[in-house]
Chains A and B, each alone.
Chain A
Amino acid sequence: MYTPKVAVLFGFGINCDHETAAVFELVGGSAERIHLNKFINQQASLSEYDILAVPGGFSFGDHLGSGRLMGNRMRFALRDELHKFVEDGKPIIGICNGFQVLVKTGLLPGPEAENPLPDFHQRASLTLNDSGRYEDRWVTLEFDQNSPCIWTKGITRIDCPVRHGEGKFVMPESTDLDRLAKSNQLAVRYVDSSTEPGEGITDEPLPFPISPNGSMRNIAGICDSTGLVFGLMPHPEAVYAKWLHPDHTRGTAPGPETSNSLGKWEGEGLQIFRNAIEYIQANR
């Protein structure tokens, strides 16, 4: 079986690079933490890799808006390489600060399906939580079963933590959101954990803290129209194992009963990363 190569970006205040690399390794990838400047200085080539991950953190301290300065560096210095990456059918994930970076480079949500390759035009944003506070708390997420997103296939619902101060997803017009909804790009939403799995998604604004930030239509993450580029505010890598779930100490942490990664201890978050690895193995 081919071992997909994963580039996990770091530098300038990215700080979830270790665990993001680790979860790709746990599901059969070969992950490498690579400083962004290595790609910019051409000491490394993005084309050598199958998957790109932009982890969470505080790139440039979130000054001038989260993800902005990192997004600019990528938008100006790696434009062609990123375009080619998506054109080659290779998946990209941005988590938390990485999602903010992808939104601000314009990779997410990206152009419409007729001409889906990156045009680096910013169409959405992530802004201050309605609470005005950075918070670390657990949320319940539900996934659009019809989404083209290759990262979320087969996943209905998971719990994972959010850890952000600027996670409120906004777009200028509600028709913008309608368009994404129609193409099933609103891949993941915050839902009320007391609803039945599969029936939690709603466009009606959910109260704090079910929706931790006041995102439009409770959006937690989106994909581009190719389904290759995916970003979300919550941290699925932070629940790679059941012992990281807050209910673990009560003996009720959810997750698969068996897995080839951690046996009965695999957490709910790992499947997202396995999906991308298996996608490469199947489509390469």
Chain B
Amino acid sequence: MNITRVEVTPKQGDGLSDVRGDVVRRQLLADHDVKVGDVRSIVGFLISSNIPSEEISDRVDDLFADPIIEFSCTDELFIRNEEQFSKTPDAVISVGFKAGVTDNPGAAALDGFRTIFPHTDAESKISTYITYIFYDLPSEITIEWLENTLHNQLIQRAISSNKEDCQNQNWPEIEYTAKPKQVFENPKYVSLEISDEELIDLSENGLLALNLEEMQTIQSHYRDESVRESRKAAGIVEDAPTDVELECLAQTWSEHCKHKIFASKIHHTDLETGEKSTIDSIFKTHIMNPTHDMQKEVDWLLSVFHDNSGVIAWDDDWSVCMKAETHNSPSALDPYGGAMTGIVGVNRDILGTGLGARPIANTDVFCFGPPNWEGELPDNLFHPSRVLRGVHAGVRVGGNESGIPTINGAIVFDDRYIGKPLVYCGTVGIMPRRLNDGRESHIKTPTAGDIVYMVGGRVGYDGIHGATFSSLELTEESPSSAVQIGDPITQKKMLDMVLEARDLGLITCITDNGAGGLSSSIGEMAEYTNGCEIDLAKVPLKQQGLSAWEILVSESQERMTIAVSGKDVAEFESLAKLHEVEATAVAEFTSTGNFHVKYNEDTVAFLPIEFLHDGVPQLQLQSEWSPPQLVKFEPPKDINHSELLLKMLGRPNIASKETWVRQYDHEVIAQTVVKPFVGVERDGPGDAGLIAPIHGSTHGIVVSCGINPRYSDIDAGAMAAASIDEAVRNAVCAGVDVDKIAGLDNFCWPDPIESEKTPDGKFKLAQLVRANRELERVCRAYRLPCVSGKDSMKNDYGKGENKISIPPTLLFSLFGDHPDVRYTATSDLKDHGERLYLVGTSHDELGASEISFMLSEEDDAIGIGGNVPKLENPEQNLSTYRELSKSIRSGLVKTSHDCSEGGVAVAIAEMCIGGRIGAIIDVDGTGDENLWARLWGESLGRFIVGVKPENEQEWLEAMSGHGITYLGETTQQENLVIKDGFDEIIDLKVSDMVNSWQNTLDMTGGGN
């Protein structure tokens, strides 16, 4: 192997510039207020191959450089070229990947290299790096700070030259480094005939994340005589687990995979009411049972809970499914890679639903610390602006490159998310109701004897211990192997191939490889036939030398596990070849009742399927509720509400996220009817996404979400109810058929198990109980089945006094039917003279409102306590929503916006912004006597609706009995005027509101 270095740099002048370098300059300005004169960039390739450098050099402009826009050089450093880099820079930093970390540009380069040099040998590799060259760097900026800002030590390496080095022409020179050799170790036997303390040590030191009772359950399994006999027959040591088995059990029984807290028996005490009760599984009691009850009443709930996503019948030909996931811990360690694997991971959940569904829409909801945070940062945590940039870039690349539009989402800010950012990624999928061979595509049809393939990427050391790691709190020692970078193109090729295989009828069973790797994917599918036999030696590896347990549990990305009937094997393999997708037979389904794992001829794991899946003992937990004692929010006297509104519009939780959202492709597939931003200038807020996925048809799907974590400060139950109501309101704005909606519950909680490190565990668990009770109450009232969901229960950072716990957070996502996308509404005001109404009533509910947080943060008020918004009568709401939605679908109403953060004042301001039109409204008579409640309160169940004068009477008749109040109308003026009876409260120019709303999160650093 010889190593050839190729470097490429953009040409300058004559309309050409180094945009990549300039983006770094702009971001330093936007995020850190650091003004750098100029930044240039060089992309480097280190080619380890059998092709001589001279041959490569001759073809550089055919592959590595585009001669129209770039200069290239071979086997030298461009920075030495005085023609290109005549001025002495102040700093030079080269950033490359650590060996073994996914290098997508390198992999693509190698693919292109083989096109040009077909005789490239199999071991060849290309790794890439980028060199940044800084001119006119402020003298106070140290090279260490710059280096840390530009790379993540966990996955990247950086070398640099400071000012002195530059003057001496000492340039950074990244060398090719091969992956470190991995040493294969034979499976070890781990004796469990040890004390309880030693069992705990074994769990903690091995990152197994199992508690004592679980370890003891495993211990007694190996003491069982019948188990020992069957093990003896299988040729594996009888009385102790192998490391393969222990790891496999730890993955399968992890909180991440088994949801042990939601399945636990909770002894609940309510100190407020004196209630004492026992809940045998929150999940079964409050989520599954209500949905199963609803399943008896409708014919469109095809598949709930048991598959990778929930499936509903959409029409006679198509069914639709949706799933949302979180990827919080990986995103904390590497925002870019963590978030990217989050989005491409949930795409695979859709691909792995039924016999394979096609992902057609993504949703992204993030919770971060404030991007303008100026306080201290705990060790090992990134600044929120960096988390935002990284997560956003990961989701952008993952979604855009996969060709899946991002149609809905939200970004929420709160200080506590500095400790753990939340990264929710959701995907909607579609599949034909029936395949050509007559099978219903939402039902898996495996039989014993089917061949099980691993399809897509290979298995590597990256991604070991993700599931168990995410079941632990974040510490400074969190492992880097838990972090991966996604490879959307490998996945896209796989996706194309899998959907073709589905349509050809070649798939009997499919699931994705996520948490727990092959151990989980094959293990779960083996439940259908009651057994499987795997040969780990057949599994293709990224690098040789992985031990058996590592192969079994590695969570390396871009892999599906697919079962194929023996007769279809040849066709399946040739299809994979056409698509250049690796598909390897690694297992076979059996009906032996055993999860049987071999490495070549040796049995390395032999676990009864039943024990593997149902053996984990139920947790017994205590919860105790007493309402938090908070200082009530008291609004200040004599404050200028116009100024308040401008400030509120600039609050990160309210401000426009357009800079970020516009970087997502929201229109690929040519189906997006209501886009994330709407209105005259296409920059007003959209409430819900609306798509028409079948080309030429106007049948639609509405996708929306709701999230209100700060209400948990007062009551997590109210938080849950508010989130569900918000998701439904948003969908109503688009005209959803409220009688055909389905939801997803994604809980992110701080650790709710009482322990030394979590002394307030009982309270946190009581919050979970209250949230789920409200979830059940509201979903039953709205007849809104939860068809899929997920929970992430360890969202804490650090220990003791430095511990940061996130506010208990429920993301409620919703997807529903829309009969005809031609009739929908958006938030932007449409025309002069439009008549404006408030649907719903404003109550005295200012507790935990955005205005209370803003004023108490600015010391203009004390406290955020008080009444949190409540959903007193959801049945009544549903009836109002049904009527409003109908009036949108009948074309009577074109303007509708839900009132959420910032209440009526912010909602009407956003509507003026979208329409670039003034309005005059009067909030007198819209509810509570307290003006603050009517102006800024966040009471649920409210919308502002605009209706044309000619449709007003008909609409009023339709809405009679539904609690609507006339607010005012749009005007020819360029102002928003809000009155309270005779008093003028607010008078603002629309253009000033636009500026406030758009500036906060622009963060582009100028320059277009």
Contacts and interface: CB of A to CB of B under 8 A. Distances in A.
Contacts of B109: 63-64
Contacts of B1004: 131, 133
B695 A19 contact: yes
Interface in A52-82: 56-58, 60-65, 68-69, 72-73, 76
Rank and list the top 8 A-B pairs by shortest CB-CB distance, nearest first. Answer: A15-B403, A208-B1008, A63-B108, A22-B695, A19-B670, A132-B23, A125-B68, A128-B19
Contacts of A19: 668-671, 695
Contacts of A171: 68
Interface stretch (A134-142, A182-190, A222-230): A134-142
B462 interface: no
A106 to B, nearest CB: 11
A230 B664 CA distance: 26
Given A13-B401, A249-B678, A170 B68 contact: yes
A26 interface: yes
B824 interface: yes
B828 A250 contact: yes
Contacts of B665: 134, 136, 163
B663 A133 contact: yes
B16 A170 contact: yes
Given A60-B112, A61-B488, A72-B112, A240 B695 contact: yes
21 contacts: A10-B496, A12-B580, A14-B403, A15-B668, A16-B668, A43-B578, A58-B403, A61-B489, A69-B112, A72-B112, A122-B68, A123-B68, A125-B66, A127-B66, A133-B1004, A134-B400, A136-B662, A163-B667, A163-B668, A214-B15, A250-B828
Q: Which secondary structure characterizes the binding site on chain B?
A: loop
Given A58-B492, A249-B894, 18 more contacts: A13-B401, A15-B403, A37-B580, A38-B578, A58-B488, A60-B108, A60-B111, A64-B112, A68-B63, A69-B112, A76-B115, A104-B66, A130-B17, A130-B19, A133-B662, A238-B668, A244-B667, A251-B830
Nearest to A205: B15
Given A41-B578, A122-B68, A243-B822, A136 B666 contact: yes
B104 A170 contact: no
A35 B400 contact: no
A240 B670 contact: yes
A237 interface: yes
Contacts of A43: 578
A129 B112 CA distance: 24
Contact of A12 (B489, B671, B698): B489
A94 to B, nearest CB: 16
B674 interface: yes
Interface in A245-261: 246, 248-251
Interface of A: 10-16, 18-19, 22-23, 25-26, 35, 37-38, 41, 43, 56-58, 60-65, 68-69, 72-73, 76, 104, 122-125, 127-138, 161, 163, 170-172, 207-209, 214, 216, 235, 237-241, 243-244, 246, 248-251, 262, 265
Residue among B10, B104, B665, B669 with most chain A CB within 10 A: B665
Contacts of B229: none
Contacts of B781: none
Nearest to A262: B696
Contact of A11 (B67, B579, B671): B579
A12 B20 contact: no
Contacts of B16: 127, 170
B506 to A, nearest CB: 16
Nearest to A127: B69
B66 A68 contact: yes
A58 B68 contact: no
Given A60-B489, A63-B109, A132-B26, A249 B674 contact: yes
Nearest to A56: B668
Nearest to A245: B673
Contacts of B695: 18-19, 22-23, 25-26, 240
Given A16-B403, A61-B108, A73-B115, A22 B670 contact: yes
A265 B826 CA distance: 19
Nearest to A249: B826
Interface string B673-716: 11100111010000000001001101000000000000000000
Contact of A265 (B675, B822, B825): B822
Nearest to A59: B489
A160 to B, nearest CB: 10
Contacts of A248: 673, 822
A129 B20 CA distance: 10
Contacts of A240: 670, 695
B672 interface: yes
Given A38-B578, A125-B69, A250-B830, A11 B669 contact: no
B667 A250 contact: no
B108 A243 contact: no
Interface in B92-142: 104-105, 108-109, 111-112, 115-116
A119 B10 CA distance: 26
B500 to A, nearest CB: 9
Nearest to B915: A250
A236 B695 CA distance: 14
B159 to A, nearest CB: 23
Contacts of B19: 127-130, 132
Nearest to B43: A64
B729 interface: no
B571 interface: no
Contact of B663 (A65, A128, A135): A135
Interface in B639-670: 662-670
Interface in B1-31: 10, 14-17, 19-20, 22-23, 26
A58 B579 contact: no
Nearest to A123: B68
A237 B104 contact: no
B1007 interface: yes
Contacts of B14: 172
Contacts of A13: 401, 403, 488-489, 492-493
